[in-house]
Structure 1
Amino acid sequence: MPEICRFFGIVIHMYFDDHNPPHFHVEYQDCRTIIGIRDAELLEGYLPAKQLKLVQAWTILREEELLSNFRDLGLDIKQWRKIDPLL
């Protein structure tokens, strides 16, 4: 499971050949969650409010890159790219 980005103790991952809708996985301390790319919606799990807002802001800023990674991770080539963190 490639690490796509890391910022403020938040780690973003995507799985190879993952299911739709386009999403990514987030780890923060003991919290695990899944965030939808197109709407930055919390799909599953829990994040503290502050970290959730940071992840949602980052998702909105990086939507096209996230969608591209999600698509490319599903290809046989399984290519992926790191995405710049929220600063």
Structure 2
Amino acid sequence: MTVWLHFQAPEMREWQCIFDYISKRGRVGEENGIKFIIHTSENGHNKPHIHAQYQQKEVVLEIPSGKVITGNINSKKMKLASEWVVTNEAFLKQKWNELAHGVYYFC
């Protein structure tokens, strides 16, 4: 996990929130053209989830069930994305916990 240095210079402090935001997002996989990205702090849903992106469309899936929370992609790709989440459950739980900065959802 990336740990950003805290900036001491006043002109650099404004960048801290940008680096913090970037560090809370993590691309964790790609399969069959589907990109899997974890965002741990978002408005509207903070429970463990993953974004699956395919051809400029996106679906948000629950970790670990693979159940669709929101969004829509090609139905064949959505099924593959859901299966990928279930198959990679342990890895995704670990990555979520790492990216959530000490807020553990999975023990």
1:27 aligned residue: 53
CA–CA distance in structure 2, aligned partners of residues 16 and 43 of structure 1: 15
Structure 2 residue 91 is the aligned partner of structure 1 residue 65: yes
The AA in structure 2 aligned to 1:49 is S
Larger Rg: 2
TM-score, normalization: structure 1? 0.77
State the secondary structure of the residue aligned to 2:66: coil
Q: Where does 1:4-83 land on structure 2 (aligned, <5 Å)?
A: 4-17=28-41, 20-75=46-101
Higher RCO (C-alpha 8 Å, min separation 6): 1
- Deviation of residue 15 (structure 1)? 2.0
Cα distance per residue 1:30-67 (max 9 Å; x no partner) = 21121101211110110111001111111111111101
TM-score, normalization: structure 2? 0.64
CA–CA distance in structure 1, aligned partners of residues 61 and 75 of structure 2: 14
Cα distance per residue 1:1-55 (max 9 Å; x no partner) = 3211111110001125455321011110021121101211110110111001111
Native 8 Å contact 1:17 1:73 kept in 2 = no
| Structure with more of its chain in helix, by fraction | 2
